[in-house]
Amino acid sequence: MTNDAYEARDLVADRPDIAAHCRQLMDEWVSEQMKKPNWSTDPLNEVLRERGIKKGHLVARN
């Protein structure tokens, strides 16, 4: 973190194993949240939908 204080460096190419694990953890967490009775929508997905951004269309910038 100290070498990349703004988290601007994309680590996926360097550590795809860690990126895959993080994606899995996030997917599991979102799935758990969606099962709760008070779940309506994922705020991030709502923002992306409003802007016409589809999954997989975001590009990392260095």
pLDDT given for residue 17 in this prediction: 94
pLDDT band at 5 (very low <50, low <70, confident <90, very high): confident
| Domains of the chain, residue spans | 2-50
pLDDT given for residue 46 in this prediction: 83
CA-to-CA dists, residue 44 to 2, 11, 32, angstroms: 27, 21, 16
pLDDT given for residue 28 in this prediction: 93
* Interatomic CA distance for residues 52 and 62, integer angstroms: 23
Closest CA to 23 of 12, 10, 36: 12
pLDDT band at 59 (very low <50, low <70, confident <90, very high): low
Mean pLDDT value across residues 35-55: 80
* Interatomic CA distance for residues 47 and 35, integer angstroms: 21
